[in-house]
Amino acid sequence: MILSIVIDFSFWFILFCIATGLSYALLLYFRNRHEDFPRWLNAIMGVIRFVTVSIIAFLLLSPLIKSVTKSYDNPVILIVQDNSQSIILSSDSAYYRTEYIQSLNNLYHNLLENYDVKAFTFGERFQRLNGDFLNQTDFFEEKLTDFSILFKDIENMYANRNVGALIIATDGIYNQGLDPLYAMNNINFPVYTLALGDTNLRKDVILSSVNYNKIAYLGNKFPVEVIIKANELNGNRSKLSISRGGKVVFSKYIDFTDDNFVQSVLVEIEAEESGLQRYRVQLSALEEEVSADNNRVDMFIDILDARQRILLLYDAPHPDVSALKQAIKSNYHFQVEEYPAKDFFEPVSGYDLIILHQIPALNRPYSSILSNINSAQVPVWFILSSGSGIASFNQLNTGLTINTQNANYNEAMPVMNNDFVLFELPGKTKQMLEEAPPLIAPFGQYKLLPTSNVLLHQKIGKVTTEIPLLLFNQEQDRRTGIITGEGIWRWRLFNYSQSEDHQAFNELINRIIQYLSVREDKRYFRIISKNRFIENEPVTLNAEVYNKSYELINAPEVELEVLDIEHNRFSYAFGRKGKGYVIDAGIFPVGSYSYTARVTVGDEIYTEQGEFLVESMIIEKINTVANHNLLFNLARKGDGKMLFPQQMEQFVDLLQERGDIKTITFSQKRYNELTNIIWVLIMIIGLLSVEWFIRKYLGSY
């Protein structure tokens, strides 16, 4: 540290301060004859007074103490090791696990003699090591390679630092994030690369990709696309098989006709059992191939037996019934069953929606069916026709009554209600309804409950009325829909005449069914979670508990028990977060799991059951050919050089030869008022005190 004194005045003013102190001392001790002190004592006290007054006079000039501190920022060398699985999938896997790590560690310590060296690993995450590379125990375990995380984190951590160089040891294979050449745009220091891996194509059979839908329905066939690659295996063959629970559901021999063989195989598999099903897609291994790890893929498909059951009852055959049935069958989520009402005697509680066409009828009120529907609280969609018993319908409390004296009917064209908000119709469906032919609707006085929502009004002739043609009503948890006219089969034919398909009509029917059949969730205990996790992703679940007033509470303890396919049990307890619950159960091995969550609220015990699966990641095993061209371009763009592991020690000489990797000196200046320094005040008080003590001791004032 360098100290100096700075004042705003010329330093000649210091002479005036000295003169002031000297004058004061002379007048007090050498010109004043009232005090009879020894000559030597006068001289001592005169010097004290001279120094004290001079210092006080100097302080009146407001002097500043200037301090200059120098600090040294040694160059930092960053060594980053690719920690992904692709490194050890080469033929030199044993070398990379042993000799290579030792050589890299030697490089670390050699550079440490002249630089500040930091060690890191990267793959799916960027991680700093505590010390050298021998402290790392889980090398080459990460299942992704993302260069953009590497460059972004280095940029954030070492902004405005004296980074001498970045050394990246990798095979150049990346499978996530930005292109490395683009991701390094903000790196402003030299980049060197250490080229690992093997660039030669080796004999290998690879399941390059398996494409499939995550969900299928019980009894249906679902497609699976398998893309197969084979390197340097011309003239060989492998067996492709797909199995579930040890049972082979598909097999086929694949003949490799090229050294760079690629083939796509499309398979259809029947969904035979509901629930989360694990299928294994596998290619038989060949003796000469380098690795069999990329020969198999496990796919998990959630096979649902949860299609909504729609019951279609009619009094007499009618083209409307066929039009409805065809529209419902176009949606895989719906399963429709149709019966003449007079032949139906089954319970209705198992259905999600019941469509009643011309029920109640003029001469057949079907009181028993309507009573069962009302008791089961199943949503109902009424379609009125010329054969409907209007008087019986008015007694059903549907939200609509029609007072008619004569059996008269109008041709009623549909008009959209722009204020309808229960659900949205696609543009094509709205366009179809604007030009659709009329329905045959009963003439009379229509009365609606205030809770009714009208989707379509009736247009009679050229007059648009407020009379409903299609409306909905909800009473407590039960929803009701009503079409007040017959002839929707004409809408289906009209849709086909306009666009040569039934898409707009099908959308209308399916949107209506979807709205009517959805029931409000009234459970007091709910588990909220996705049912698919990647093998390196922690399994997290959320829970909600409600009291009888449907208010969120989180006082009770919520327990979770997870069961794997081998019936091993894992117990957890949910933690509280806000008004709900959350649990991070950690990372699970690949496989399917079931769980049971339990909570006790008062005297009630609520349980929720579910399933989730953990899917494997083989992305690092698909491409095992090192990309040294990328590493060469990274080094060239970063003003560095690419070396191979056998040349690793050359990094020391390369860095020392550079003129731009050197220690940076920083100078920091600070100014402080001299009057703020406590020892100056202590010195002044001390001098004056010594003088005062001597004078008092000698009997003077």
Window from 24-28, 461-465, 527-531 with minimum mean pLDDT? 24-28
pLDDT for residue 636: 94
For the residues 595-612, what does the mean pLDDT come to? Answer: 92
- CA dist., res. 195 & res. 672, Å (int): 55
pLDDT digits (tens, 9 = 90+) for 543-581: 999 998 888 999 999 999 999 988 899 999 999 998 899
Mean pLDDT of the region 367-391 = 89
Residue in this structure with the two tokens 């000469």, named with its chain if needed: 288
**3-state SS class at 378:** coil
**pTM as predicted:** 0.56
Q: Which of the residue ranges 325-339, 412-426, 662-676 would you say has the lowest mean pLDDT?
A: 662-676
Kindly tell me the number of DSSP H helices and DSSP E strands found in the chain: 16, 38
pLDDT, one tens digit per residue, over 466-510 is 999 999 998 877 899 999 999 999 999 999 898 888 999 999 999
For the ranges 212-221, 379-388, 415-424, the lowest mean pLDDT is seen at 212-221
Calpha distance 328→307 (Å, rounded)? 12
Give me the sign of the Cα torsion angle 86, 88, 92, 95. positive
Quick check: 697 pLDDT over 80? no
Host H or E run for residue 683: helix 678-697
Looking at residue 73, what is its pLDDT?
80
Residue 105 or residue 58, greater confidence: 105
Tokens of 351: 């259905």
Give the span between the Cα atoms of 619 and 569, in whole angstroms: 30
pLDDT at 12: 79
Hey, is 602 helix, strand or coil? coil
Residue 34 has pLDDT above 60, yes or no: no
Other CB atoms closer than 10 Å to residue 323's CB: what's the count? 21
Give the relative orientation of helices 503-517 and 319-329 as an angle to the nearest 10 degrees: 80
Whether residue 70 is predicted with pLDDT greater than 90 in this model: the reply is no
For residue 450, cis peptide bond before it (omega within 30 degrees of 0): no
Q: What is the mean pLDDT of residues 281-295?
A: 84
β-strands 532-534, 575-577: how paired?
unpaired
At residue 32, the pLDDT reads 58
Q: What does the pLDDT average to over 691-696?
A: 79
Residue 680: the pLDDT is 82
- pLDDT, average across residues 602-612: 90
Instruction: Tell me how far apart the alpha carbons of residues 534 and 78 are, in angstroms, rounded to a whole number.
Output: 31
Q: Nearest to residue 525, comparing CAs of 460, 432, 615, 598?
A: 598
The Cα 354–Cα 376 span in angstroms is: 11
Least Cα distance to 134 among 157, 102, 156, 165 occurs for 102
Confidence of residue 239 (pLDDT cuts 50, 70, 90): very high
Q: Are 324 and 282 in contact (CB under 8 A)?
A: no
C-alpha 130 chain-centroid distance: 29
Report how far residue 638's alpha carbon sits from residue 202's, in angstroms, rounded to the nearest whole number.
31
Closest listed residue to residue 457, CA positions, set 488, 414, 423, 491: 414
411 vs 532 pLDDT, higher one: 411
The two structure tokens encoding residue 608? 């929720």
Nearest alpha-carbon partner for 415 in 454, 460, 457, 446: 457
Degrees (nearest 5) of the Cα angle 491, 391, 450?
70
Rounded distance between C-alpha atoms, residue 21 and residue 51, angstroms: 7
As given in the structure block, the two tokens for residue 595 are: 């769980």
Residues 6+ away with beta carbon under 8 Å from 206: 228, 229, 230, 231, 294, 295, 621, 622
Q: How confident is the model at residue 1 (pLDDT cuts 50, 70, 90)?
A: low
Q: How far apart are the first and last CA of the chain?
A: 45
For the cut 70, the answer to whether the pLDDT of residue 192 exceeds it is yes
Residue 134 sits at the vertex; the CA angle it makes with 132 and 137, to the nearest 5 degrees, is 120
Q: What is the 3-state secondary structure (H, E, C) of 54-110?
A: HHHHHHCCCCEEEEEEEEEECCEEEEEEECEHHHHHCCCHHHHHCHHHHHHHHHHHH
Q: How confident is the model at residue 36 (pLDDT cuts 50, 70, 90)?
A: low
The number of angstroms, rounded, from the C-alpha of 376 to the middle of its chain's C-alpha atoms is 42
Residue 662 exposed, middle or buried by CB count within 10 Å (0-12, 13-18, 19+): exposed
Query: Quick one: tokens of 426?
Result: 């696609």
For the chain, percent helix, then strand, then coil, each to nearest 5? 30, 35, 35
pLDDT band with cut points at 50, 70 and 90 for residue 82: very high
Q: Which domains does the chain show, CATH number per domain?
A: 2-69+670-697 (no CATH), 75-199+625-657 (3.40.50.410), 204-304 (2.60.40.10), 308-517 (3.40.50.880), 526-615 (2.60.40.10)
pLDDT at 35 over 70: no
Q: Do residues 596 and 608 touch, judged by C-beta distance below 8 A?
A: yes
Checking if the pLDDT of 33 tops 60, the result is no
Is residue 183 within 8 Å of 177, Cβ to Cβ?
yes
Residue type, 236: N
- Per-residue exposure over 430-451, b if at least 16 CB sit within 10 Å of its own CB, e if not: eebbeebebbbbbbbebebeee
Is residue 407 within 8 Å of residue 389, measured between CB atoms? no
Cβ–Cβ under 8 Å, residues 267 and 239: no
* 86 CB-near residues (< 8 Å, 6+ apart): 145, 171, 173, 197, 620, 621, 623, 624
Q: Which of 30-39, 285-294, 547-556, 638-647 has the highest mean pLDDT?
A: 638-647
Asked if residue 255 lies in contact with residue 217, where contact means CB atoms within 8 angstroms, the answer is no
Whether the CA torsion 317, 318, 322, 327 is positive or negative: it is negative
- The pLDDT tens digits for 629-649 are 999 999 999 999 999 999 999
Return the structure tokens found at 612. 């989730």
376, containing H or E segment: helix 367-376
Q: Which of 12-16, 445-449, 603-607 has the lowest mean pLDDT?
A: 12-16
* Mean pLDDT over the full length of the chain: 87
